């Protein structure tokens, strides 16, 4: 089972000092137009399209998506290919945080689909993966290959959920978040960051060709490790804020 921590603790871990946005997109016009994602605004995709449908987007009117027919018999990936961060920069700002909102919709047939966020280094070694499945489970694989999977029905896949992976290159600890909650802490061995893939996979079975895995509001950030005093003050502020609201 996935472990859960309090929202305050999760926010303290996920927050820090002056995060610099390396890349961010909501797949909106004019940078993106409806059609194949591959080749648009620096994205490389072996599957996926930009769809224009405000009712299905998390924000705005457009989002990226992979259908069951596009995913086919194996996983499919897409990534923004200019966000690499090398060891020299990571020595100064060792925290890399990537996030994306994901959701699913349609009839999956007898297959189980996943939509996730997968971080890699320049040697194509995994830093960390977090995903939700069409059966409502959540899965994580860290850079050491440790797999953690929740029970079926933990989340509702038919609504958007924010997935995030935070890798600390100073400690080689990676934290995985679902909707702001730190669900798993793992490790990795990488010394640089190459990309954060959005990915869709499916199991064997029948049907589900029109099933949609949707991705929106994708962000990569890089920052220094917050000073302990800053974290303590932030935590006190959150507690005080909570008391005022009550």
Per-residue pLDDT of the chain (246 residues; tens, 9 = 90+): 333 333 333 333 344 456 799 999 999 999 999 999 999 999 999 999 999 999 999 999 999 999 999 998 889 999 999 999 999 999 999 999 999 999 999 999 999 999 999 999 999 999 999 999 999 999 999 999 999 999 999 999 999 999 999 999 999 999 999 999 999 999 999 999 999 999 999 999 999 999 999 999 999 999 999 876 554 444 444 434 443 332
Domain ranges for the chain, please list them: 7-245
Which residues have CB under 8 Å from 21's CB, separation 6+?
A: 219, 220, 221
Is the previous residue joined to 30 through a cis bond, with omega within 30 degrees of 0? yes
**pTM reported for the whole predicted model:** 0.86
CATH fold of the domain at 7-245:
Jelly Rolls (2.60.120)
Of 68, 70, 50, give the one whose Cα is nearest residue 60: 50
3-state helix, strand, coil in the chain (%, to 5): 15, 40, 45
């Amino acid at each position: 089972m996935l472990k859960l921590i309090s929202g305050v603790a999760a926010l303290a871990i996920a927050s820090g000092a002056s995060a610099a946005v390396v890349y961010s997109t909501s797949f909106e016009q004019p940078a993106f137009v409806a059609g194949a994602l591959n080749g648009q605004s620096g994205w490389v995709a072996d599957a996926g399209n930009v769809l224009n449908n405000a009712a299905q987007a998390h924000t705005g009117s457009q989002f990226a998506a992979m259908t069951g027919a596009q995913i086919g018999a194996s996983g499919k990936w897409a990534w923004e290919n200019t966000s690499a961060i090398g060891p020299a920069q990571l020595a100064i700002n060792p925290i890399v945080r990537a996030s994306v909102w994901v959701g699913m919709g349609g009839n999956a047939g007898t297959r189980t689909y996943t939509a996730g966020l997968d971080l890699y280094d320049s040697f194509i070694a995994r830093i960390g993966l977090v995903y939700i499945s069409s059966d409502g489970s959540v899965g994580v694989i860290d850079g050491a290959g440790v797999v953690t999977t929740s029970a079926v029905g933990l989340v509702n896949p038919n609504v958007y959920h924010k997935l995030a992976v935070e890798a600390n290159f100073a400690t080689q600890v990676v934290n995985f978040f679902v909707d702001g909650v730190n669900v798993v802490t793992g490790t990795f061995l990488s010394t640089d960051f190459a990309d954060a893939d959005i990915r869709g996979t499916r199991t064997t079975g029948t049907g589900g060709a029109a099933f949609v895995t949707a991705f929106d509001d994708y962000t990569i950030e890089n920052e220094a490790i917050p000073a302990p005093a800053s974290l303590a003050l932030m935590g006190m502020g959150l507690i005080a804020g909570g008391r005022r609201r009550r």
